[in-house]
């Protein structure tokens, strides 16, 4: 497999993991010096289309940085179809996807379509940001997310929290 349109997206920005126990996962990562994790608390995610079906999975998402690389922990709270539920049902806890961030979403969509890539899951997060997950035949999915004012604020907030963190209490905090 060649790199396709991802080669134009720059470096991998995020590694994401599905977890069954968020507190245990945060404890494991923070023991490695990665944290704090900033969480979007349990909520129904709006604007998801998974395998052609409109779904709004209930998730908790927690983010931390290791240098410039963002780590995402994903806890699924329901049985609605999603790429996260698919992985858990297949017994694939842990590494789930790699993510790239792009500012030109329409340009990305054209490049992906020209390469024949069809997303497994896509949406706009209820107007937050466009995103798409692709199954490229490897062990992990590839996600591409729109980098806009809202996502830039989120990524900057997570990165700054990591830079200012001394490993003291509160390894899991609310993002907002």
Please give the model's pTM, rounded to 2 decimal places: 0.94
Summarize the confidence of residues 86-91 as an average pLDDT.
92
pLDDT band at 70 (very low <50, low <70, confident <90, very high): very high
The answer to whether residue 35 is domain-embedded is yes
Summarize the confidence of residues 130-136 as an average pLDDT.
96
Whole domain around residue 23: which residue ranges? 8-167
The answer to whether residue 174 is domain-embedded is no
pLDDT value at position 1? 46
Residue 51 CA to residue 83 CA, distance in Å, equals 9
The answer to whether residue 173 is domain-embedded is no
State yes or no: pLDDT of 3 exceeds 70: no
The answer to whether residue 88 is domain-embedded is yes
Tally of domains in the chain: 1
Summarize the confidence of residues 23-50 as an average pLDDT.
94
State yes or no: pLDDT of 2 exceeds 70: no
The answer to whether residue 3 is domain-embedded is no
The answer to whether residue 133 is domain-embedded is yes
Output the CA angle 122-129-29, nearest 5 degrees.
Answer: 85
Q: Which residue has the tokens 């949406």?
A: 123
Summarize the confidence of residues 82-109 as an average pLDDT.
95
Residue 11 CA to residue 138 CA, distance in Å, equals 18
The answer to whether residue 176 is domain-embedded is no
Query: What is the sign, positive or negative, of the torsion defined by CA atoms of 47, 51, 53, 59?
Result: negative
Share of the chain above pLDDT 90, in %: 85
Q: How many CB atoms sit inside 10 A of residue 139's CB?
A: 7
139: CATH: 3.10.180.10
């Amino acid at each position: 497999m060649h790199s396709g349109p991802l080669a134009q997206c720059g470096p991998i920005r995020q590694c994401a993991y599905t977890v069954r126990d968020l507190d245990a996962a945060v404890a494991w990562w923070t023991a490695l010096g990665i944290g704090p994790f900033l969480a979007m608390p349990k909520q129904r995610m709006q604007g998801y289309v998974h395998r052609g079906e409109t779904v709004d999975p209930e998730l908790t998402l927690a983010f931390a940085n290791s240098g410039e690389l963002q780590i995402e922990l994903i806890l699924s709270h329901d049985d609605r179809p999603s790429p996260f539920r698919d992985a858990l049902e297949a017994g694939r806890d842990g590494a789930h996807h790699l993510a790239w961030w792009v500012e030109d979403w329409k340009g990305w969509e054209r490049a992906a379509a020209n390469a024949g890539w069809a997303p497994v899951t896509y949406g706009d997060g209820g107007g937050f940001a466009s995103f798409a997950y692709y199954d490229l035949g490897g062990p992990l999915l590839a996600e591409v997310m729109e980098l806009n004012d809202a996502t830039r604020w989120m990524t900057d907030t997570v990165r700054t929290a990591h830079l200012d963190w001394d490993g003291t209490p509160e390894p899991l905090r609310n993002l907002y």
